[in-house]
């Protein structure tokens, strides 16, 4: 995943490799991104990319405890980042 070019590709790869079998929040993705890539990313950017991945059928989301939670969709399609 370190060689992904765009931020959305990096986020998609982190989800595939680190969060595959779990529910997660945009905050968790942002923290993982910053830890793994060593660069800041705004929470709004992460939320936008997660929303796009949901729209493309790669992930599902549900509202729980006051925030959106995400997970990889069952039989997620191979999704081009853009």
Q: Is the pTM of this model over 0.85?
A: no
pLDDT at 62: 94
Query: Is 90 exceeded by the pLDDT of residue 77?
Result: no
Q: Tell me the average pLDDT across 53-77.
A: 87
3 vs 34: CA distance, rounded Å: 15
pLDDT digits (tens, 9 = 90+) for 19-50: 998 999 999 999 999 999 999 999 999 999 99
20 vs 4: CA distance, rounded Å: 17
pLDDT at 65: 84
- In degrees to the nearest 10, what's the CA dihedral of 77, 68, 34, 21? -50
């Amino acid at each position: 995943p370190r060689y992904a070019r765009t931020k959305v590709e990096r986020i998609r790869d982190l989800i595939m490799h680190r969060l595959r079998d779990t529910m997660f929040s945009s905050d968790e993705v942002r923290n993982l991104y910053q830890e793994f890539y060593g660069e800041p990313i705004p929470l709004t950017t992460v939320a936008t990319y997660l929303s796009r991945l949901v729209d493309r059928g790669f992930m599902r989301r549900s509202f729980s405890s006051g925030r959106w939670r995400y997970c990889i969709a069952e039989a997620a399609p191979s999704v081009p980042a853009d």
